[in-house]
Amino acid sequence: MNNIKIKSKNLNVYYGDKQALFDVNLDLNEKEVTALIGPSGCGKSTFIRCINRMNDVIDICKVTGNIEMDGMNINDKDLDVVSLRERVGMVFQKPNPFPKSIYDNISYGPKIHGKGETKSELDQIVENSLKKSALWEEVKDRLDEPGTSLSGGQQQRLCIARAISVNPEVILMDEPCSALDPIATAKIEELIDELKKTYTIVIVTHSMAQAVRVSQKTGFFHLGKLIEVGNTEKIFKNPDNKMTQDYITGRFG
Amino acid sequence: MSNEHTVKSYEEELQFLKDSLIKMGSLTESQLGDAMDAVIKVDKDSIDKIIKSDEEINKFRSKIDTQIMNLLVKRAPMAIDLRETISSLKISQDLERIGDLSKSNAKKVKPLPLDLPDELLGNLKRLGELVMKQLNDVLDSYVNKNFDKAKEVWIKDEQVDDLTYIAMESVIDFLSKDKKNLDFSTHLIFATKNLERAGDHITNIAETVCYLVKGEYLKGSRPKGKVIQE
Ligand SMILES: Nc1ncnc2c1ncn2[C@@H]1O[C@H](COP(=O)(O)OP(=O)(O)OP(=O)(O)O)[C@@H](O)[C@H]1O
Ligand SMILES: [Mg+2]
């Protein structure tokens, strides 16, 4: 069993009066993929946004309880959020490359985080990130073209390259394949398998089959509560909780 | 929260699969009974009918295969549905094998003399009845998702082994009285052994039902009675 990288204890999240997460206790293991599943609106995105403090940008959002990374309190008011986000990268549902060249999309992060002083250092980071995200062969001759000129699947891999360019420890992925075709999806899934050797990964997905394919641990949320969490194989073969079973077998609502 | 699938046709497909398996089970059951009767009564007229019903069972098996493949491709079943699907695949295989063994037993009736003594067939008859009861119970445990009952069947296979041993002994006793009994006695020995094998498939089914219900395999090794080494 790997070390615990991130630990949430009695984590509660409110949007104004509305509570979106209730006492969530969830451990994410280092260099493992954790899948979060559950019906729309159950709080999956809210949970992963707690890990890189993305909820800070939502005025009405209030977070209580504890969330730690390597024992460090992520909710600490004095925490440097910029350096947190350097350690915790994020990939969104829709690929969202900056309206800049492929090269700039990737070099931007390292630059603002003070990594890659010289042009050749940056070149190296760009190349490595694109190689790790399995995009290098497809774009190495067109690095000056805009990121938006790529196909959806390529754009998503570009976003993954951008996320890993700053050498994070954790990568959060919020439905990264929902806009992609099966081949692009397969590429991303294979990439996730590769990336988990280096990074701790959390993926939100609505595809049960994808959760089974990519993750070692799965958490099922319902109405803001973590209903069941455990070994992915166990969850999908023989979950303990009836609600989990009803959800993954398609017997819900 | 309901227990029905949101997708109705999925629900229907699963139900259809279960129904097919239950039908196949009852067909296998009556074929096993018929084959037993044929042996005990040395009823040569029923042989063809039993061979025919084996074809029927094989057809069910391939029909169930197709249903399972369709379910896997269309629905990617999870959890209880996955276990239900995979269990059907395994159980249908065991049923088909039991059917083959019944057919083989029916074929053994042909060379038997019509005037077999009761003491020779008594133990074989008891064995046949026990195997029938085991099959009936295990199918029952499948239909009712009854873990305890399946486990009971699993444990009782020991008795099948013991009775096989006894039935073999009586055939061999008979054989040793007069060497000219040799040609048909061997057929009875094979028929006895076939019943024991059918018992093993029933034990497989019992294990599958336990897995289906609880999602975990029975622990420990199978109970074993006296076994005749092959
Ligand atoms: N910015 C926001 N302002 C107000 N309420 C919000 C906000 N974001 C989320 N919520 C509410 O919090 C709850 C959880 O939302 P969240 O986006 O975490 O769900 P989700 O599990 O990611 O759903 P989906 O699968 O649809 O993406 C929902 O009831 C949602 O309406
Ligand atoms: Mg979401």
Would A53 be classed as within a structural domain?
Answer: yes
Put simply, whether A40 touches B (Cβ < 8 Å) is no
Would B220 be classed as within a structural domain?
Answer: no
Cβ-defined contact of B78 to A243 (cutoff 8 Å): no
Put simply, whether A61 touches B (Cβ < 8 Å) is no
Average pLDDT over residues B204-229: 84
pLDDT above 60 for B151: yes
Would B81 be classed as within a structural domain?
Answer: yes
Q: Helix (H, G, I), strand (E, B), or coil: what is residue A26? A: strand
Count A/B contacts: CB-CB distance under 8 Å. Answer: 47
Closest CA to B106 of B170, B190, B25, B165: B190
A243 with A227: CB under 8 angstroms?
A: yes
The shortest CB-CB distance from A252 to any of B1, B79, B81 is to: B1
CATH number at residue B49: 1.20.58.220
Would B87 be classed as within a structural domain?
Answer: yes
What's the pLDDT tens digit per position in B50-62? 999 999 999 999 9
Closest CA to A198 of A122, A128, A106: A128
Residue showing tokens 């394949």: A177
Structural domain of B60: 8-214
Put simply, whether A252 touches B (Cβ < 8 Å) is yes
For ligand 1, atom 19, which residue shows the shortest CA distance? A41
Would A155 be classed as within a structural domain?
Answer: no
Cβ atoms within 10 Å of A220's Cβ, excluding its own: 26
Ligand 1 atom with the shortest distance to the CA of A58: 1
Would A110 be classed as within a structural domain?
Answer: no
Closest CA to A211 of A158, A160, A163, A173: A173
Look at strands A217-222 and A33-37 and give their pairing: parallel
Mutation target to probe the B interface, by most B beta carbons within 10 A, among A205, A246, A247 is A246
CATH number at residue A26: 3.40.50.300
Would A220 be classed as within a structural domain?
Answer: yes
B212 with B146: CB under 8 angstroms?
A: no
Would A139 be classed as within a structural domain?
Answer: no
pLDDT above 60 for B229: no
Put simply, whether A223 touches B (Cβ < 8 Å) is no
Residues of chain A positioned with their CB less than 8 A from the CB of B81:
249
What's the pLDDT tens digit per position in B82-116? 999 999 999 999 999 999 999 999 999 988 888 88
Long-range contacts of B132-137 (CB under 8 A, 24+ apart): B132/B29, B132/B32, B132/B33, B132/B36, B134/B160, B134/B199, B134/B202, B135/B25, B135/B28, B135/B29, B135/B32, B135/B98, B135/B198, B135/B202, B136/B29
What domain count does chain B have?
1
Q: What whole-number distance in Å separates Cα of residue A74 and Cα of residue A115?
A: 23
Please give the backbone phi and psi of residue B145, each rounded to the nearest 5 degrees, phi first.
50, 50
Residues of chain B positioned with their CB less than 8 A from the CB of A248:
78-79
pLDDT of residue B1: 43
Please give the backbone phi and psi of residue A217, each rounded to the nearest 5 degrees, phi first.
-130, 145
Would B28 be classed as within a structural domain?
Answer: yes
Would A108 be classed as within a structural domain?
Answer: no
Structural domain of A17: 4-99+169-183+196-248
Q: What whole-number distance in Å separates Cα of residue B217 and Cα of residue B63?
A: 27
The shortest CB-CB distance from B78 to any of A243, A249, A252 is to: A249
What domain count does chain A have?
1
Would A37 be classed as within a structural domain?
Answer: yes
For ligand 1, atom 6, which residue shows the shortest CA distance? A15
pLDDT above 90 for B120: no
pLDDT of residue A199: 95
Would A133 be classed as within a structural domain?
Answer: no
Please report, in tens digits, the pLDDT of each residue of chain A (253 residues total): 689 999 999 999 999 999 999 999 999 999 999 999 999 999 999 999 999 999 999 999 999 999 999 999 999 999 999 999 999 999 998 899 999 999 999 999 999 888 888 999 999 999 999 998 889 999 999 999 999 999 989 999 999 999 999 999 999 999 999 888 888 889 889 999 999 999 999 999 999 999 999 999 999 999 999 999 999 999 999 999 999 999 999 987 5
**pTM for this prediction:** 0.85
Mutate which of A21, A26, A44 for ligand 1 pocket (most atoms within 8 A of beta carbon): A44
Nearest CA-CA distance, residue A223 and chain B, Å: 13
